[in-house]
Structure 1
Amino acid sequence: MGKILIFAGTTEGRLLWEECDKRAIPITASVATDYGETMLPLSKYSDIVTGRLTCEEMKNFIEEGNYTLVLDATHPYASFVTENLKKASQETKAKYVRIIREAVQTLEGIFVDSVQEAAEYLNHHPGNALLTTGSKELKEYTKVTDYTTRLTARVLPDAEVVRQCTSLGFQGKHLICMQGPFSAEMNYLMLKETSSDYLVTKEAGTYGGFSEKLEGAKRAGAKLLIIRRPGAETGVTLFEAMELVQEHHNTSES
């Protein structure tokens, strides 16, 4: 029986990594950035590889490492990574398992289908906004009138991320660099401190801190501007994924 590979970079990936370490189950975690690597605690059983991979590179890595179980714990909005990983697993005949993030059901908030639509909405509605959708698509918000004074971006405390944000005009008190998870109280305080009328978020689900954002926005009297997920996903929960890992490990040991 081959080895176990997890594509991490999310809370689910970190929790799975930590649980495998507790159970002394060796795995390999793949993360895109050096910062992502720092989020995984040191393990004497497992190892980490860092760097973004193309589909062909994923395929070669799976084959050369003799990985027969591939777990996809990448972000729900990183659909291109998921598609590449599915294809690479299929071509190498490795078992592919998608770990899905359970959604938090709510009828509250304003729903849009993309960051572009969120920016367009803000451009046509007055008020300040706290952006919690990450740094990758932050450029879209520069299309909002007076964005440097109306919008505040909350991003990861990574040097390259900070450089990108400041180059786009997000700086000073309009740039918050912190690592989550954030409590409802922290979200509330940030909304009040930035005088935000909106909290812009992706439909992140339980492990993405969505409930805490919802509660914080309610307390602050701010509206949620919610970017829907790209599409319905099928897969397993974090608990189910851990059971699959344990089963695979037991089979390998027998």
Structure 2
Amino acid sequence: MIFMLCGTSDARELAVQIKAQGYSVLTSVVTDSAAGSLREAGLDVRVGRLTADEMAAYLKENQVQAVVDASHPFAEEAHRNAMAAAEQAAVPYIRYERESLTFDGQPLIQYADDYAEAAEMAAAKGGVVMLTTGSKTLQVFTERLLGLPNVTLIARMLPRLDNMEKCEALGLPQKHIVAMQGPFSKALNSALYDQFGVTLMITKESGKVGSVDEKLEAALEMGIETIIIGRPKLAYGHVFSRFDEISDTLKEMLK
């Protein structure tokens, strides 16, 4: 059995391909909403977070032959847990990582190493800041930006109850929340920037599949500055960005 950490559209496509090659595949996601599309594709799914120790026990109990980590590029905790679990269970770990997008020579784009640095850069710039990095790290930005006289913070996130409760707890006004399910087209991104008068957009370098290019193209055309937060730098070992590389590696490891 192949144990796959999923949760994105490209992870689902990879899981379907691996299953089509004759492997037994068990996908793992955090939420029921993410599980739905996997089940629709005919994949077996388990739902819920696992610690490294819990995952290791699960791998041993289910006689898993390899772990394929195809979770989101910024799911750092999931990556670390999967690598540790695979080591404990003595099974191979393979990382599928989306190709990065590069925007060299763009004067409107700056890079930050992490969320805290991005928040500091935004505080220095001021203006109407649209945050498109989700709710998990929202507090990093509200603590630094809310209350500044020259900053208006607009947060875009999934329309979930827990997200709205978090916004309320952090003091983010309802009128500054965009609760929508992506992916977002370039036209919709442009409309949102225009609606709120955005002068600075903050995003993560999630890759093309993560719709980063639509956000950036819209922002660049409108002359809006952008801060891109770089991916976590982890020592994955076996890491590939193409489906065929994953398939070839599995064949080699499990032959």
Query: Could you state the TM-score of these two structures normalised by the residue count of structure 1?
Result: 0.87
Q: Does 1:185 align with 2:187?
A: yes
Give the equivalent residue in structure 2 for 1:98. 95
SS at match of 2:65: strand
Deviations 1:120-178 (A, max 9, x none): 12222221011111111101111214379711111112222222223222343311122
Partner of 2:228: 226
| Higher deviation after alignment, 94-103 or 147-156 | 147-156
For residues 193 and 24 of structure 1, what CA distance do their matches in structure 2 show? 50
Other-structure match for 2:48: 51
Greater CA deviation, 239-248 or 64-73?
A: 239-248
One of 14, 25, 28 as aligned partner of 1:16: 14
1:21 offset after TM fit, Å?
6.2
User: d(CA) in 2 for partners of 1:190 and 1:24?
Assistant: 45
The RMSD of aligned alpha carbons is 2.6
SS of the residue corresponding to residue 190 of structure 2 reads: helix
CA gap 1:158/1:25 in 2 versus in 1, 3 angstroms? farther
Where do 5+ consecutive residues of structure 2 fail to align?
A: none
Contact 1:21 1:43 in 2 (8 A): no
Cα offset, 1:26, TM superposition: 3.8
Question: Structure 1 residue aligned with 2:154, among 143, 147, 152?
Answer: 152
Q: Distance in 2 between matches of 1:126 and 1:238?
A: 39
2:32 alignment partner in structure 1: 34
Matched position secondary structure for 1:40: helix
* Aligned CA distance change for structure 1 residues 180 and 246 (closer, same or farther; 3 Å): farther
Q: Equivalents in 2 of 1:18, 1:165: separation in Å?
A: 36
Q: For 2:242 and 2:103, how far apart are their aligned partners in 1? A: 22
Secondary structure of the residue aligned to 1:124 is helix
Change (3 A) 1:153 1:83: same
Taking the TM superposition and a 5 Å limit, the aligned residue runs for 1:131-150 are 131-142=131-142, 143-146=144-147, 150=152
What secondary structure is seen at the aligned counterpart in 2 of 1:153? strand
Instruction: In structure 1, list runs of 5 or more residues that go unmatched.
Output: none
Contact 1:123 1:145 in 2 (8 A): no
Q: Look up the equivalent residue of 1:60 and give its one-letter code.
A: A
The answer to whether the 8 Å contact 2:38/2:44 transfers is: no
Pair 1:240 & 2:244 matched:
yes
Identity of aligned residues (%): 31
Q: Is the 8 A contact 1:12 1:238 kept in 2?
A: no
Residue 240 of structure 2 aligns to a residue in which SS?
Answer: coil
TM-score when normalising by structure 2: 0.86
Q: Please give the alpha-carbon distance, in whole angstroms, between the structure 2 residues aligned to 1:162 and 1:18.
A: 34
What letter matches 2:158 in structure 1?
L
Deviation, structure 1 residue 49: 0.8
User: Take 2:226 and 2:39, find their aligned partners in 1: how far apart are those partners?
Assistant: 33
- Aligned-residue offset at 1:98: 0.3
Moved over 3 A (4+): 17-26, 145-149, 244-248
